[in-house]
Homo-oligomer: A and B are copies of this chain.
Amino acid sequence: MDVLLNHRTIRKYTDQPIDESLLNEILTAGTRASTTGNMQVYSIVVTRDDEMKEKLAPTHFGQPVFKNAPVSLTFCADFNRFNKWCRLRNAEPGYDNFQSFVAAAIDALLVAQNVCVAAESKGLGICYLGTVTYNADKIIDILNLPKGVVPVATVTLGWPDEDPDQTERLPLEAVVHQERYKDYSEEDINRLYKEKEELDANQQFVAENNKETLAQVFTDVRYTKANNEHFSNVYLDVLKKQGFLK
């Protein structure tokens, strides 16, 4: 519980490597996560080599955390292995569709989060890179992912070389609904976002970006409509190319 409550994203790591045995222990804990019908329709690609880091870095937009991390893990929805098994066992797989991608992506993400909790329980720091779903096409080429395999999350791991404050969260009532979804009134939004908007760090963020409101930093700078639409097309094309969408 303390491990979960103390989570903070770590973007700076020491030079200390992560032992193979420790990594395997963490990955094993990951594979205990729930999985659809116990099919385990996911794979994890480990990046340690400098050569591979160099190749992958641009797909993560050169974020220093990626090059700095001794280990990165790319979690993939993977029906390739399962399909191969089926075909070798006189069974015709019917997993070339969107629902199968969703099941496999869920599998991969539950494992990813278990791996993060396991890593943090061992004192390691982690950082999720959202870029993996933006540049999935390039990552597929670099990691040699065959048809049936799509990257859904990349996590960097390393021994912490910083001790940042926890980032704020909305009050629990902002994200939890009892029995039915209760839509938000203007007053609700004002109340629930008040603390977030008043935080010094967030007010500074608005000023640095020359914006009027914190929301504008998101819509105009960090997650713009143009980028979202571009990367939506990339990811949908990836799902088609990898055999999950017609």
Contacts and interface: CB of A to CB of B under 8 A. Distances in A.
Given A34-B9, A37-B223, A179-B46, A213 B89 contact: yes
Contacts of A9: 34
Contacts of A133: 99, 102-103, 106
A232 interface: yes
B121 A45 contact: no
A144 interface: yes
A97 to B, nearest CB: 4
Chain A interface residue bracket vs B: 35 or more
B170 A40 contact: yes
A69 interface: no
A134 B219 contact: no
Nearest to A185: B84
19 contacts: A5-B29, A37-B222, A43-B176, A43-B177, A49-B179, A52-B180, A81-B175, A88-B190, A89-B212, A91-B215, A92-B225, A95-B223, A97-B228, A99-B232, A102-B133, A103-B133, A106-B130, A113-B113, A143-B177
- Please list the 4 inter-chain residue pairs (A to B) with the smallest Cβ-Cβ separation, ordered nearest first: A94-B225, A89-B215, A91-B215, A113-B113
Interface of A: 1, 4-7, 9, 24-25, 27-34, 36-40, 42-49, 52, 76, 78, 80-82, 84-86, 88-95, 97-100, 102-103, 105-106, 109-110, 112-114, 116-118, 121-122, 126-128, 130, 133-134, 143-146, 149, 152-153, 166-170, 172, 174-181, 183-184, 186, 189-190, 192-193, 212-216, 218-220, 222-226, 228-229, 231-232, 235-236
